[in-house]
A and B are shown apart, each in its own frame.
Chain A
Amino acid sequence: MVIGQSTVLAAAFPPDVEDFYLPSILPWGAHDAYWFTKITVLVWVAAAAIIIFFLASYRKPQLVPTKRQWLAESIYGFVRNNIAVDMIGPQGVRFAPYLTTLFMFILVNNFFGILPLVQISPMSHIAFPAVLAVISYVMFIWVGIKKHGIAYFVHAVKPNAPIGILPLLIPIEIFSNFLVRPFSLAVRLFANMFAGHMLLLVFTLGGFAMINANAWLAPISVLSWALTIAITFLEFMVICLQAYVFTVLTASYVQGSLADEH
């Protein structure tokens, strides 16, 4: 039985990139159709779940909150006070709704990476982090232009430095602020989720591979699976941390655009 299972589960050891691209659901089993795959379904499920949770728990808001209302308020309150207001200042309150939405979307999508039976995060496909990063990119530039006009671009790339060193600094600033930022945002999130999934695959499938190769390796297989569980906990930390980091960085970029001094 073990062998029967492993031939299915460990069909592709060592795991590679193709393990992230599952056959589509509709049309069933197609390899180059992407409209209706496990990944896109998960994205819709995440969006729906967040919407339902917030609408249900905030249908009839009360001054003295119920438990669910309190939970929803805590999430919003956390992003609002600990990210938006802390990073941007009092005017950060107006960015809190977007930042909370962003945070929740990333968090739930990331969480699919360790949710039993789901166990793959849509964020391990770069398309989704990229969309979010582009929104953040457009947003902080838009906020800067609204605040400073076209002078924002000068403001953003010209640091407070002696004039002699500016020819060196300005290209660096342009590069880091307008070229690297969206990529670093997207790639950081994507790579974390991708690597997490890959790690779990390696340890899970590795266990099967070893036990199949030699029955004497069974204890090491068990160890490998135990490590899978440990790594799942590690992944949980990464999931929360990456959602937090993405949100904080977006807030920080917005703050930079709003700042009067560079």
Chain B
Amino acid sequence: MINLYLAVAPEEGAAEHNPIVPIWEEIVVGTVAFAVLCFVLMKFVFPLMEKTFQARVDAIEGGIKRAETAQAEANQLLEQYKAQLSEARTEAARIRDEARADAEGIRQDVLAKAREESDRIIAAGNEQLAAQREAIVRELRSEVGTLAVDLASKIVGEALADEARTRGTVERFIADLDTAGQR
């Protein structure tokens, strides 16, 4: 078998090749094939890829920028709302204070009016009392005369014996009445 291989080997080496010497046909083929490849890829594919990369970068950066703008806007709105809220709060406090002051004023008013009214009523009562007292005194005074006459008639009618003593009694009685009436 080995003999067979050895016998075949020299037959093939009809045209000896040197592996470091290039074959010019292959140089041409390689050059043309590679040139075509370069032309197509470098003209139609890779520039497009660069463009896509750029577009992608733009898209991402644009997205970030948009997000930042939105964030800033939101922050601004938040600040605005906060300011409005605190404003409303102070307003409410102010209104509450005013209402409290108003209520106090009203209370004072009512109180003063009530006091005045009570004073008025008391004064009127006093006046009426004085008038009634006057009337009563007057009535009593006129009644005293009648009473005196009644008493006198009784004394006169029942005991005329002790005239002198009786006389003193009547006089004293009258004097008492006088002092009572003057008072």
Contact A131 to B30, CB < 8 A, known contacts A61-B52, A212-B1: yes
Question: Which B residues are CB-close (under 8 A) to A51?
Answer: 36-37, 40-41
**Contact indicator B48/A58 (Cβ below 8 Å):** yes
**Contact indicator A72/B8 (Cβ below 8 Å):** no
- Give the number of A-B contacts (CB < 8 Å): 135
Contact A47 to B26, CB < 8 A, known contacts A11-B5, A96-B46: no
Interface residues of B (CB under 8 A from A): 1-2, 4-5, 8-9, 12-27, 29-31, 33-34, 36-38, 40-42, 44-53, 55-56, 59
Partner of A35 from the list B4, B25, B40, B53 (CB cut-off 8 Å) is B25
Contact A72 to B49, CB < 8 A, known contacts A47-B33, A130-B27, A194-B19: yes
**Contact indicator B12/A12 (Cβ below 8 Å):** yes
7 residue pairs bridging A and B, Cβ less than 8 Å apart: A32-B15, A58-B45, A72-B49, A93-B50, A105-B37, A128-B30, A130-B27
Interface residues of A (CB under 8 A from B): 3, 7, 10-13, 16-18, 20-21, 31-32, 34-35, 39-40, 43-44, 46-47, 50-51, 54-55, 58, 61-63, 65, 72-73, 76-77, 93, 96-98, 100-101, 104-105, 122, 125-128, 130-132, 135, 187, 190, 194, 209, 212-213
Contact A127 to B19, CB < 8 A, known contacts A58-B49, A101-B41, A105-B34: no
Question: Which B residues are CB-close (under 8 A) to A58?
Answer: 45, 48-49
Main secondary structure of the interface of B (DSSP, over half): helix
Contact A20 to B17, CB < 8 A, known contacts A47-B37, A58-B48: yes
